[in-house]
């Protein structure tokens, strides 16, 4: 067990840090030849929605569940995208660079955050193989990620 009392949300620097992370990451995604076509319908609200999702996952405010459709809606956003493993790995590579640029120089914190992304991108890839409109059932509440991984 890790003996750190603050949440990952607090440790990364709160919503402002997550907004910076999301911004830096999507700038890189949209400039990347392998990923840009996947994000053809991208809008800037995406950057904010991802920051709000991450805040909730990392133990901060529950804005995604309260106002953006929660876990079910997050999963539904990825239906039909047919994400390949090559695309998932590039996503991870660009996110690793963004984490190194935007998050505090704290090795354990960065490792936990990247472990969440590794876990989450595998789920996104899985769901993306199902067609748009697929009934996902009840996926349960938004997952929480802490100093010991999935809570
Ligand atoms: C932990 C991993 C991931 C998280 C937390 C995440 C988060 C999100 C969120 C919150 C949305 C909804 C955005 C909105 O409401 O505007 C979304 C949509 C989307 N995601 Fe992900 N995602 C992840 C992995 C991936 C991967 C691996 C890919 C592709 C390589 C991907 C591609 C997309 C696309 C194309 C959309 C729809 C974009 C749009 O048109 O707005 N995501 N994602």
Pocket perturbation via mutation, ligand 1, pick of 50, 75, 77 by most ligand atoms within 8 A of CB: 77
Q: Using one digit for the tens of pLDDT, what is the confidence trace for 98-131?
A: 999 999 999 999 999 999 999 999 999 999 999 9
pLDDT of the residue at 3? 77
Output the CA 124–ligand 1 centroid distance in Å. 8
Q: Which CATH class for the 8-146 domain?
A: mainly alpha
Angstrom distance (rounded) from CA 42 to CA 119 = 23
Q: Which residues line ligand 1 (CB under 6 A)?
A: 35, 38-39, 41-43, 45-46, 49-50, 53, 74, 77-78, 81, 83, 87-88, 91, 117, 120-121, 124
**In whole angstroms, how far apart are CA 111 and each of 40, 107, 150?**
30, 6, 13
The separation between the first and the last C-alpha atoms of the chain, rounded to the nearest angstrom, is 12
pLDDT of the residue at 120? 98
- Which of 88, 149, 66 has its CA nearest to residue 115? 149
Output the CA 112–ligand 1 centroid distance in Å. 20
ipTM for the assembly: 0.97
**Own/partner long-range contacts of 16-20 (Cβ < 8 Å, ≥24 apart):** 17/102, 17/103, 17/104, 18/51, 18/54, 18/55, 18/58, 19/47, 19/48, 19/51, 20/102
Q: Using one digit for the tens of pLDDT, what is the confidence trace for 56-101?
A: 999 999 999 999 999 999 999 999 999 999 999 999 999 999 999 9
Output the CA 106–ligand 1 centroid distance in Å. 26
How many beta carbons lie within 10 A of that of residue 95, not counting itself? 22
Output the CA 107–ligand 1 centroid distance in Å. 26
């Amino acid at each position: 067990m890790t003996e750190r009392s603050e949440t990952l949300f607090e440790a990364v620097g709160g919503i402002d840090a997550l907004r910076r992370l999301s911004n830096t990451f999507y700038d890189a995604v949209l400039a990347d030849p392998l990923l840009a076509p996947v994000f053809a319908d991208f809008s800037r609200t995406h950057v904010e929605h991802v920051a709000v999702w991450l805040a909730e996952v990392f133990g901060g405010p529950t804005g995604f569940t309260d106002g953006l459709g929660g876990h079910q809606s997050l999963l539904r956003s990825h239906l039909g995208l047919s994400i390949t493993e090559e695309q998932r790995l590039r996503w991870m590579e660009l996110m690793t660079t963004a984490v190194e640029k935007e998050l505090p120089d704290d090795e354990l914190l960065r490792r936990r955050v990247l472990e969440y992304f590794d876990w989450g991108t595998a789920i996104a890839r899985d769901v993306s193989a199902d067609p748009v409109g697929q009934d996902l059932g009840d996926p349960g509440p938004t997952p929480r990620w802490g100093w010991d991984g999935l809570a």
